Structure 1
Amino acid sequence: MKQDQAETIALGALAWLAGNEELLPVFMNASGLSETELRARAGEPELLGSVLDFLLMDDAWVIACCDARSLSYTSLMQARAALPGGAQVHWT
């Protein structure tokens, strides 16, 4: 997946997250971002990667987001891998 496609998927995931009244405050607290900062940085690939990292912590979140956005369940992980910091680390 190319970075521009990954950014589009991540922006959709951010939009889904922003519309989730229960989960958005959890992300905001975990990230330390204010609403103003989130809006200002929404297009930054690093922030979008953080959104995907957050959603990928829970299968239920992945399923809900992907179902709402009509995406395959692997698309968030694939998008994360295409954004800065998303490469898998191999320790051997």
Structure 2
Amino acid sequence: MRAPRRDRSSTGVEAGRDLAVEALAFIAADETRLERFLAVTGLGPHNLRRAAADPGFLVSVLDYLAADERLLVAFAAESGRRPEEVMRAFEAMRGPPPGAEP
């Protein structure tokens, strides 16, 4: 396990994108995790790179992590973050819920 990274706690959209790319690499680094991710998303190795260039897809990567607590905790530990930091980045990228007051 890596030491916590204090300089990566930013929750801005750009930081969220960077975190989502890191999360995608984390998922892809393990064959079992990657197979499940591809099965859930309907993607394949042939179109994963193209999808990763879409900011909406990157939000879905963090959504995927948020939906699986064990995966979220494993990613947070691997990346030296707290799960709450990952969730704040997800919320920043996702934006307010539809119909929310500004």
Count of residue pairs the alignment pairs up: 90
Percent of paired sites with the same residue: 29
**Structure showing greater Rg:** 2
| Shift in Å, 1:56 | 1.0
Normalising by structure 2, we get a TM-score of: 0.78
Q: Which residue of 1 aligns with 2:85?
A: 75
Q: Which residue of 1 aligns with 2:96?
A: 87
- Which secondary structure does the structure 2 equivalent of 1:35 belong to? coil
5+ residue gaps, structure 2, are: 1-10
Show CA shifts across 1:18-74 (max 9, x none). Answer: 112111111101111111211122132111111111111121101100111111111
Partner AA of 1:87 in structure 2: P
CA contact (8 A) 1:41 1:47 kept: yes
Poorly superposed stretches of 4+, deviation over 4 Å: none
Compute the RMSD of aligned alpha carbons.
1.8
CA contact (8 A) 1:81 1:88 kept: no
**Which residue of the other structure, out of 12, 18, 38, is the alignment partner of 2:28?**
18
